[in-house]
Amino acid sequence: MLRRLLTILLPVAFVLVVAVLAPLGAVIAQQQTQQVYVDRLADAGRFAALARTALETDRGNALTQEMARYEQLYGIPAVVVAPDGRVVAGSGDRPRMREVVAEAAETGGITAALAGERPEPPTTVWPWESAPLVVAEPIGRDSEVAGVVVLVSPTDELAGAILGTWGWMALFSTLPLALLVSASMPLSRWVLQPIRRLDEATTAVTSGDLDVRVDAESGPPELRRLTDSFNTMVEVVRRALERQRSFVSEASHQLRNPLASLRLSVENLAPYLKSPQAREAHEVAIDETTVMHRMLNSLLAATRLESVTGSEVVEVAGLVDTRVARWKALGESRGIEVTTDLPDHVWAHAPAGGLGSILDELVSNALRLSGGTRIEVRAEDGEQVRIGVLDDGVGLPEEERELALGRFWRSPSHQNTEGTGLGLAIVADLVRESGGRLTLGDGLAQDGRRGFGVVITLPPADPPALEEGSEDD
């Protein structure tokens, strides 16, 4: 994010510096052009005065020598042109002077000067232009114009001087630009630091950590207010979830004792019921209280599952080893064999403290609902860690598998089996929040049946680093 912000700020800063330097450079080029033009105009005026005297006295040698020395010193040819266009005097030989006059005539300055008018001064000489600076000064004024003094000044030195000035300007501009860049780094960090903390906190919230809070003491006032609002929002959500879970848990606990008393009272009515209809209604009432008791137990288990937040790195085989004995004991009581097929050293990102409870729920579902004789818990390591709980039971039709992940959904074939239809849906949510996914498919093949399988896919993880002193000597 810092790089993206600097990518925006630095070009803007560069454009601002260029926007200041460009008109300033143009003004400097114009000023230097005008200065050179004024100098050349003064020289042309002096030659015009000398040429008028020379023409009146018919003594042009001194004028020619002066122009020759001028060109020798400054490299600027000077020519005196008569009203009929003839070259009267010049700083070089006549053929070269005629070339100079022809070059100057293209600007139109000689024609204007012969008319007694001083040509318009040039606006700006740009360094990339090679045209010379032509100065035409009339000898005399109005109807008494006796000729024109023409100076054709090369602009190489002027262009070099302008470029040099621009170079110094660019060099000095790097200082404020460097200051602006150096200031933009801490400024960008100051602005983005609250956003970065909000991003980290949001990631923590999405992983289930509702105890995270963001420091609202630094950054712009607007972002500090946003941080306060974020902390308030997280606190409100946390309290609402806690109240919801507490309500379900407390309500389930509070209902268990009255429900147990109600069932006991209903069972005690058995000796007093004589008619078949009364005994049948008595049996239905006992069954309903049993279902309600199972429902309360399932709600308590679901509440414990939903309290899992965040994710952690777990070693799958080690976790399963702590639970497999209990699974096998439960399986023996139901006549079902529970086996495992787990490679060692398979690490995965799993719901924090919840993978064991998730596997307990999946194995419990298989024991209650499969109708088979074997359950296998297996794991595979690769780009993703796959943990499956597979059975060889009657399975679940494909059209019912998507429905099975909905809350309170139960298969028509399992309506008389204990359970609430909450466990699998909650497990799917927990796995998804930890970055994984839960899929339903076929299980173990047995007597032509495909069985049923629940597969959890989790992101792989590196083993945690050993702490100092924990390695074997």
Q: Say whether both 154 and 9 belong to one domain.
A: yes
Flag whether 137 is in a domain: yes
Residue 186 placed within a domain: no
- Give strand ranges (E) for 77-209: 78-81, 87-90, 133-139, 147-153
For residues 52 and 154, the answer to whether their CB atoms sit within 8 Å is: no
The side-by-side arrangement of strands in the sheet containing 87-90 is: 87-90, 78-81, 147-153, 133-139
> In whole angstroms, what is the distance from residue 37 CA to residue 44 CA?
10
Give the DSSP letter string of 17-50.
HHHHHHHHHHHHHHHHHHHHHHHHHHHHHHHHHH
| Same domain flag for 372 and 405 | yes
Residue 418 reports pLDDT greater than 70? no
Among 273, 307, 341, which residue terminates a domain?
A: 307
Which residue is it, tokens 């990631």? 203
Strand partners, 302: none
396 and 445 share one domain: yes
- What are the pLDDT digits (tens) for 366-389? 888 888 788 888 888 878 889 999
3-state class (DSSP) for residue 124: coil
Q: What is the phi-psi region of residue 438: left when phi exceeds 0, alpha when psi lies from -120 to 50, beta otherwise?
A: beta
Residue 292 counted as domain residue: yes
Model confidence over 121-157: pLDDT tens digits?
777 888 887 888 888 888 877 667 788 888 888 888 8
Query: Could you say which DSSP state residue 464 is in?
Result: P
Q: Within 10 A of 385 (CB to CB), how many other CB atoms are there?
A: 22
Which of 371, 377, 364, 363 minimizes the C-alpha distance to 419? 364
∠ Cα 415 418 423 (to 5°): 100
pLDDT of 278-292, one tens digit each? 888 888 888 777 777
CA distance 319 to 355: 8
Please state, rounded to an integer, the average pLDDT across all residues of the chain.
Answer: 79
Of 103, 128, 161, the position where a domain reaches its end is 161
Number of domains the chain is built from: 3
Does the structure show a pLDDT above 50 at 469?
Answer: no
Q: Where residue 117 falls among pLDDT bands split at 50, 70, 90?
A: confident
Q: How many CB atoms lie within 10 A of CB 127?
A: 16
The one-letter amino acid code at 422 reads L
Return d(Cα 159, Cα 127) in angstroms, integer: 4
Give the model's pLDDT for residue 473: 39
Residues 6+ apart with CB under 8 A from 210: 234, 237, 238, 241, 309
pLDDT at 399: 79
Domain boundary among 307, 337, 368: 307
DSSP tally for the chain: helices H, then strands E: 12, 11
Report pLDDT digits (tens) over 343-361.
Answer: 888 898 887 767 888 888 8
Say yes or no: 81 and 18 in one domain: yes
Structure tokens that stand for 243 in this block = 């109240």
Same domain? For 339 and 249 the reply is no
Residue 42 lies in a domain: yes
Residue 171 covered by a domain? no
Name the pairing type of β-strands 337-341 and 374-380.
Answer: parallel
Report the C-alpha gap between 458 and 435 in whole angstroms: 7
Which CATH number do you get for residue 450?
3.30.565.10
Kindly give the residue spans of alpha helices, DSSP state H, lying in 269-354: 276-306, 316-321, 324-334
More confident residue, 447 or 32: 32
CATH of the domain at 237: 1.10.287
- Residue 136 included in any domain: yes
CB atoms within 10 A of CB 260: 12
Same domain assignment for residues 250 and 337: no
CATH of the domain at 119: 3.30.450.20
Q: Is 284 contained in some domain?
A: yes
Measured between alpha carbons, how far is residue 134 from residues 47, 73, 87, 92 in Å?
A: 15, 18, 16, 17
State whether residue 442 is helix, strand or coil.
coil
Q: Do 149 and 137 belong to one domain?
A: yes
Residues 350 and 358: their CA atoms lie apart, in Å, by 10
What's the N-to-C CA distance of the chain in angstroms?
A: 46
Beta-bridge mates of residue 450 = none
In a domain, 296, yes or no: yes
Pair 296, 420 in one domain: no
**268 and 124 together in one domain:** no
3-state class percentages of the chain: helix first, strand second, coil last, to nearest 5: 60, 15, 25
Amino acid 456 reads I
Q: What is the pTM of this model?
A: 0.47
Cα(331)–Cα(16) distance, integer angstroms: 77
Q: Which residue has the higher pLDDT, 224 or 333?
A: 333
- Examine the pLDDT at 450 and tell me if it is beyond 50: yes
Let me know whether 278 and 314 are in one domain. Answer: no
**What pLDDT score was predicted for residue 413?**
64
pLDDT in tens, 232-278: 888 888 888 777 777 766 776 677 778 778 878 888 888 888 888 88
Q: What's the rounded Cα separation, in Å, for the pair 33 and 154?
A: 12
Range of 447's domain? 310-458
Does residue 136 share a domain with residue 72?
yes
Structure tokens at 370: 């499969």
Shared-domain flag, residues 302 and 347: no
